[in-house]
Chains A and B, each alone.
Chain A
Amino acid sequence: MTEIHGNIEEMRADYLALVRRKRLMDGILLIVFIALMVSGFMIADDRNAGGFWDGIHRFFDFPKEVLSEAGEKVTELPAHFVKFFPSLIETINIAGAATLIGAMGAMILSLLATRGLARWPRLIPVFRRLMDIMRAIPEIVIALVLIFVMGGGPVPAMIAIAFHTAGALGKLFSEVNENVSLKPVEGLSSVGANWAQRMWLGVIPQVSPNYLSYALLRFEINIRASAILGFVGAGGIGYELKNAMSWGKGQYDEAAAIFLLLFFSIVVVDQISSHFREQLTHGRKDKRKVTA
């Protein structure tokens, strides 16, 4: 009896010590995190041109200015919308073409980098690293280099986004490929289909809904990216925004029109794409990861 009793006492002490240690670790982690946040904020504040506490009052000044000017010239807004609509289309086209080309590249890369499906199994690590590198390069780097070589315009932006998209989607696609049933592939190879046929007829039909869903998500992201790249000289609505901003005070009605166009197009594309993505994965039992 006493032995068991002693054991329970011991266990309780052990348990409490464990809890205390865990709490201590959590506490230390929290303190480190808070210290990192605070010191990071202070460094960032210090190195910024304007301080946080001075700027916070001015936060609404610029939006107010833009909105009030837009309000004064509200009659001109429709004309601005018409004027900037072509560049909005260009921005969307950059994103669209880049997503398509990138998704095609990602499809091939991911098939080459999936165990069991790869054309050259030994090269799987090579293709994986290749996708990692493609994913790691920010679009702006490629875009700026290409703008230097090709001159400004939509093509550098498209290539830059497509390159990054191929890497980013390639990773997601290869995760999808891992869950593919190999039976159709084996069936096709038994009737003498070559690699491309096996993939196109055996794998792609299984994975296309997931591919499409990821590609749509990427399209949303790419519209934003293409607007940003426009700002550094790659054409489209971002370029117009930069010009409109440079007119300065009293001329912000154009900037306001572009803000509105960009905002609504992003919201509309997000809504449409999430609707279709819902449909694509609706009723399917696949475990879509919650990434992105």
Chain B
Amino acid sequence: MTMTATDTLKLEADGIFRRKRLLAFGLPLLILLYLTYTFFSFDVPGLIKRFEIDNARALVADSYSYKTHVARDNRTGGVEVAIEGERKGTYPEGEAPDWVSLGETTRIDLEDGHVVTFLPEQVVTYDIPGYGTIHAQTSRSKGVVTTLPEGDLPEWINKSKNRLTITTEAGRLTVTRNRTEVFRYFTGWELFFFTLDSPYHGMSFGNLVGRAFDGEAGAIWNDFWNNKMWRHSEVVWALFETILMAFLGTMGAAIVALPLAFLAAKNFSPLMAVRQVMRRFFDFFRGVDALIWTIVLARAFGPGPLTGALAILITDTGSFGKMFSEALENVDEKQIEGVQSTGAKPVQRYRFGVIPQVTPVLLSQILYYLESNTRSATIIGAITGGGIGLLLTQAMITQKDWEEVSYYIVLVILMVMAMDWFSGWLRRRLIAGSESGH
């Protein structure tokens, strides 16, 4: 008899082990299978072919460096020096950084012995140490005529009838029929503080502080704040707008959701029909995603921070309603009874019996959402057109201001981390301050 009992036990144990083993090997296998499926369904092999390494390189290089363009218009002969080739970063007529000497012939020193010279008659020469001098002349009829030193054509020179491109570690020279252009690369974000039209451009920090004390602080701040290249005032506004969207949306949702949550909680709302309606209502608001709400709201209110705030408000009303009603269902009846025994009216019962109990839970949820909604507001802003999300997408669409993109990315990360820290701080302060513990 006992044998059979142990036998069944052993069989059972074997069965359990087999199941465990199956799970231990089956689950990873299943995951692997799924990932393989997605690998092919997302066409990853094709993606590797499409991968644009040049874009990646431009992005990385641009994020920490900038280039100054020195360009000659080959029809008029005028030479222009511009940072990033932008109108806003153009040096005034006749002025140039010290490595460019303007005149009848323009000499551009690219350092390490690399020198580009714009000569009259649309001639340009480029002295490359260890290689020789490249001579190029452009004309309307013949295009670009290039004379290279003896030897094979190196791969960093790209030459055709109408175009010459030389890329060296010191810079880059492009010659076409209409335009001769030299790029020189520098590390850093140029013009971050002051643009070229500001008298404070290029001043040392000590000098600036001295002038600030001499009564120029307002002017200095004004030139910095209204920097046309980096648009500091607009960026700060955009950050503010994003946080505003998150704040209005989260707090608004909490205000709307709290009374509704009472209607959906089992112990406060005796009518089952009302509860069911409220719950479906919450599910609906959560289920219609923030994306859809954003689109619908943008139609009614147009792009802007209000639309984003309302989109967050509506979506989170659903989430908060659900969570608040669950928190309300978990309240301790004893406290309410205690308050009731002192002859409190229903409103007072809620105020003194329920609210103090649920406040810490609700507050911690609201503050958690405030942080996560800062991130959502960035995303919604990119769709509906408000805040830092919009600036980010705009800077990306132009595909050249990558230093601005990286600047915005850094700002977004700092903003979210600051909000994370702030909501954590507030949570500790408010919840510890309300004496009810956690």
Contact = CB atoms under 8 A, between A and B. Distances in A.
A227 B315 CA distance: 15
Interface string A235-265: 0001001000100000000000001001100
Interface residues of B, number: 70
A155 B44 CA distance: 7
> Main secondary structure on chain B at its contact with chain A?
helix
Contacts of B379: 138-140, 228
Residue with the greatest number of chain B CB neighbours at <10 A, chosen from A48, A58, A228, A245: A48
Contact of A47 (B247, B323, B386): B386
A133 B375 CA distance: 12
Interface in B243-290: 244-245, 247-248, 251-252, 283, 286-290
B304 A47 contact: yes
B290 A50 contact: no
A44 B245 contact: yes
Contacts of B81: none
Interface in A21-68: 33, 36-37, 40-41, 43-45, 47-52, 55-56, 58-59, 61-63
Interface stretch (B105-113, B150-158, B190-198, B291-299): B291-299
Residue with the greatest number of chain A CB neighbours at <10 A, chosen from B42, B251, B396: B42
A100 B287 contact: no
B241 interface: yes
Nearest to A104: B31
Contact of B375 (A101, A138, A292): A138
Contacts of A228: 289-291, 379, 383
B424 to A, nearest CB: 11
A227 B59 contact: no
A149 interface: yes
A279 to B, nearest CB: 16
Contacts of B334: none
A44 B289 contact: no
A225 to B, nearest CB: 8
A25 to B, nearest CB: 9
B382 A45 contact: no
Nearest to B414: A136
A133 B364 CA distance: 22
> Main secondary structure on chain A at its contact with chain B?
helix
Given A141-B409, A149-B51, A266 B365 contact: no
Residue with the greatest number of chain B CB neighbours at <10 A, chosen from A61, A149, A241, A263: A149
A224 B290 contact: yes
Contacts of B252: 37
A149 B304 contact: no
Contact of A148 (B50, B290, B303, B396): B396
A232 interface: yes
A290 B47 CA distance: 40
A51 B241 CA distance: 16
A16 to B, nearest CB: 17
A141 B365 CA distance: 26
Interface string A203-246: 00000000000000000000010011001100000100100010
Interface stretch (A89-97, A119-127, A174-182): A89-97
A245 B307 CA distance: 18
A48 B304 contact: yes
Residue with the greatest number of chain B CB neighbours at <10 A, chosen from A44, A52, A55, A97: A44
Interface stretch (B33-41, B72-80, B95-103, B115-123): B33-41
B301 A96 contact: no
Interface in B406-438: 409, 412-413, 416-417, 420
Contacts of B38: 93, 96-97, 158
Interface residues of A, number: 64
B393 interface: yes
A144 B392 contact: yes
Contact of A238 (B35, B291, B382, B389): B291
Contacts of B299: 58, 61-62
Given A58-B299, A141-B392, A150-B50, A262 B309 contact: no
A291 interface: yes
B302 interface: yes
Contacts of A291: 364-365, 368
19 contacts: A45-B306, A47-B306, A48-B302, A49-B385, A94-B42, A96-B38, A137-B416, A141-B412, A144-B393, A145-B409, A148-B55, A148-B59, A150-B51, A232-B382, A266-B289, A290-B323, A290-B327, A290-B361, A291-B368
Interface of A: 33, 36-37, 40-41, 43-45, 47-52, 55-56, 58-59, 61-63, 90, 93-94, 96-97, 100-101, 132-133, 135-141, 144-145, 148-151, 153-155, 158, 224, 227-228, 231-232, 238, 241, 245, 259, 262-263, 266-267, 270, 290-292
Given A43-B244, A137-B413, A290-B365, 12 more contacts: A37-B248, A41-B248, A43-B305, A97-B35, A136-B375, A138-B412, A144-B382, A145-B59, A151-B47, A155-B42, A259-B292, A270-B286
Interface of B: 31, 34-35, 38, 41-44, 47, 50-52, 55-56, 59, 241, 244-245, 247-248, 251-252, 283, 286-292, 295-297, 299-307, 309, 323, 326-327, 361, 364-365, 368, 375-376, 378-379, 382-383, 385-386, 389, 392-393, 396, 399, 405, 409, 412-413, 416-417, 420
